[in-house]
Structure 1
């Protein structure tokens, strides 16, 4: 989380970091990116899920779904119509998690990661 908070600090207004707490216990961390210049040329401005970490012993309890829904609600509040996410492909990766939440896998790749989009 420290690395994520440092990234948020150097990009003021472009990150939305939140700790996920349940009954006084920190169970995870989520950070959204806001109005990010996807291609560094001003032609494609996107918002979405930048980081999502749920403690290993807390996975499968709905905290990830809660976090994604919180990001979606914040983006809706800001007038955003799509939520983007990237993930590493692989057998133990989060692809099924994101697809189950309604993300659509695109043909786009970023640094060998798959790109998904959720229509808000």
Structure 2
């Protein structure tokens, strides 16, 4: 049975918050609890989901939907992957790829033609992962993160 996405509910929120990445990745992605707090205050933008395999939570993702990327350019509206946390003991098993493909499918169903992601560059960062999936660097930065995009 393939992994699946579940909406965050009162039944699984604690399991979602228990998802922890490897210690060397903790400075690269916010904890799930912070992501859920951000989703709570931005429900029209955030799309948080728990990644479940069988009955076991293995990761968390949060997409962003239709945000104005640059305030000075009202026509620059983008959607993409905001957060991806795969449990430390579950990494390397295809759950990250599944998460990106699931977000891509959701965005396609909403009529979006590209998926945006940002990441902190560095030796423990996810750049190789995203590049293997076909993301290309845009040359832009969002704070201390680089911006990549994937045509859908």
* TM-score in same-fold range (> 0.5): yes
Aligned equivalent of 1:25, options 49, 56, 65: 56
Partners of 1:11 and 1:51 lie apart in 2 by 14
Q: Distance in 2 between matches of 1:115 and 1:53?
A: 18
**Take 2:71 and 2:39, find their aligned partners in 1: how far apart are those partners?**
18
* CA drift at 1:98: 0.2
Q: Match for residue 24 of structure 2?
A: none
**CA root-mean-square deviation:** 0.9
Q: How does 1:4-83 map to 2 (within 5 A)?
A: 4-41=35-72, 42-83=74-115
Size of the aligned set, in residue pairs, is: 120
* Separation (CA, whole Å) in 2 of partners of 1:113 and 1:9: 23
In structure 1, list runs of 5 or more residues that go unmatched: none
Query: Which runs of 5 or more structure 2 residues have no equivalent in the other structure?
Result: 1-31
Secondary structure of 1:79's counterpart equals: coil
Report the structure, 1 or 2, having the larger strand content. 1
TM-score normalised by L of structure 1: 0.96
- The residue that corresponds to 2:120 in the other structure is 88
Higher relative contact order (CA 8 A, sep 6+): 2
- Structure 1 residue 54, shift from structure 2 partner: 0.2
**Matches of 1:21 and 1:102 in 2, distance apart?**
24
Alpha-carbon distance, 1:2 to partner: 1.9
Range that drifts further, 4-13 or 110-119 = 4-13
* CA radius of gyration, larger in: 2
Q: Separation in 2 of the partners of 1:6 and 1:91? A: 29
Alpha-carbon distance, 1:50 to partner? 0.2
TM-score, length basis structure 2: 0.76
Greater mean alpha carbon deviation, residues 106-115 or residues 79-88: 106-115
Stretches of 4+ aligned residues off by more than 4 angstroms: none
Distance 1:85 1:32 in 2: 9
Query: What's the CA shift for 1:88?
Result: 0.4
